[in-house]
Amino acid sequence: MAKEKMLAVKDLAISFNTYAGELHAVRGIEFDLYKGETLAIVGESGSGKSVSTKAIMSLLPKKSTTIHSGEILFQDQDLLKCTEKEMQHIRGKDIAMIFQDPMTSLNPTMTIGKQIMEPLIIHQNMSKENAQARALKLLELVGIPMPEKRIKQYPHQFSGGMRQRVMIAIALACNPRVLIADEPTTALDVTIQAQIIELMKELQVKMDTSIIFITHDLGVVASVADRVAVMYAGEIVEVGTVDEIFYHPQHPYTWGLLASMPTLEIGNQDLYAIPGSPPNLLHVPNGDAFASRNQYALAIDFEEEPPMFQVSPTHYAATWLLHPDAPDVTPPQEILNRWAKYRKNEVNVYD
């Protein structure tokens, strides 16, 4: 893995001012993104994945958002200190984003050609003719047949998968250094999902882009990511390479996520479900936020938040179980059995 850092997020904490009170959506997260790699961020919905990445793009609502602490370093500048104007030069050019719902993320009243040309015209000062020529190339690149005809069409004339390809073309128009994909395949059905992931992997190699891939689906992670960060209640609870997360997970939450992942063999029957529900981010409990759902919770979990323990140079997890004084626990047999099956199948489940 190349070790040139593209993006470094440090101690980022974000809250929203809501009618119900202060909602702590992101509570001190840290991660790095290296050149050319794909970092997957996984976690249940509401765990703060979108908020963290919107913060990178400075797309959070200005009025209700408070950034309590943190740095987001990109090319030696702290994005959190950038003005709106400086961010406009970075958005869409150096850092681009694709979103979950391709059905609503494109402007319904503008041809897709114009929508692809827009970033080229604003960031690269391209003439209309050049931008159009480049847009045609991009459409071809993302695998849209008959680009000359398609470029003049409106989003409603495209299927969901095709629209997501258009979104990818828009995002990649200016050869961004970083691509943030926020659940780009969640709204698509499985075959299309696999195609889009294939396309992203292919383009990543071609363009040497770093990708942050957000998903709540571990199955997708196995096929796209180099590294994985697991988020829970606004914190990263475990981070490591794909192999480390899938084969040597340390955090009970990661265990639960892995155990609840459907595979082709097991299907959706009899899936393990993590008991309980995530904590209310308006009143974050003391200690480990996962403690109340954690069958392995220790007394200290309810009092003090666990720090990140290092497991390997690339693998960290925030659980007291890694403390030298902690008792030895193994995940329950049922979960181990499932793992045994995943391990046999994982590689060919989604590939």
Binding site for another protein (CB under 8 A): 57, 59, 84, 87-93, 96-97, 99, 101, 104-110, 118-119, 122-123, 154, 156, 167, 170
Q: State residue 144 phi and psi, 5-degree precision.
A: -100, 120
Among 28, 36, 46, 160, binds ligand ADP (CB under 6 A): 46
Residue 61 site contact among ligand ADP, Mg ion, another protein, none (CB < 5 to 8 Å, cut-off depends on kind): ligand ADP
User: H or E segment at 160?
Assistant: helix 160-172
Residue 281 site contact among ligand ADP, Mg ion, another protein, none (CB < 5 to 8 Å, cut-off depends on kind): ligand ADP
User: 105 vs 223, which CB is nearer to another protein?
Assistant: 105
User: 109 vs 268, which CB is nearer to another protein?
Assistant: 109
Q: How far is the CB of 178 from another protein (least distance, A)?
A: 12
Instruction: Report d(CA 193, CA 187) in Å as an integer.
Output: 9
Q: How many residues belong to the site for Mg ion (CB under 5 A)? A: 1
Instruction: Report d(CA 322, CA 349) in Å as an integer.
Output: 31
Q: How many residues belong to the site for ligand ADP (CB under 6 A)? A: 15
Q: How far is the CB of 49 from ligand ADP (least distance, A)?
A: 3
Measure Cα distances from 233 to 59, 230, 312 in Å.
21, 10, 24
User: 239 vs 281, which CB is nearer to ligand ADP?
Assistant: 281
Residues 58-77 that bind ligand ADP (CB under 6 A): 61, 64
Site for ligand ADP contains 281 (CB under 6 A):
yes
Is the distance from CB of 70 to CB of 39 less than 8 angstroms? Answer: no
Instruction: Report d(CA 250, CA 237) in Å as an integer.
Output: 10
Residue 167 site contact among Mg ion, another protein, ligand ADP, none (CB < 5 to 8 Å, cut-off depends on kind): another protein
Closest CA to 103 of 157, 45, 35, 181: 157
Instruction: Report d(CA 62, CA 2) in Å as an integer.
Output: 35
Site for ligand ADP contains 315 (CB under 6 A):
no
User: 77 vs 280, which CB is nearer to another protein?
Assistant: 77
Q: Which residue's Cβ has the minimum distance to ligand ADP? A: 50
Is the distance from CB of 78 to CB of 58 less than 8 angstroms? Answer: no
Q: Angle between the 252-259 and 333-350 helix axes, to the nearest 10 degrees? A: 60
Q: State residue 284 phi and psi, 5-degree precision.
A: -70, 130
Three-state secondary structure of 38-66: EEEEECCCCCCHHHHHHHHHCCCCCCCEE
Residue 25 site contact among Mg ion, another protein, ligand ADP, none (CB < 5 to 8 Å, cut-off depends on kind): ligand ADP
Residues 6+ apart with CB under 8 A from 340: none
Site for Mg ion contains 50 (CB under 5 A):
yes
Residues that bind ligand ADP (CB under 6 A): 16, 18, 23, 25, 43, 45-51, 61, 64, 281
Residues that bind Mg ion (CB under 5 A): 50
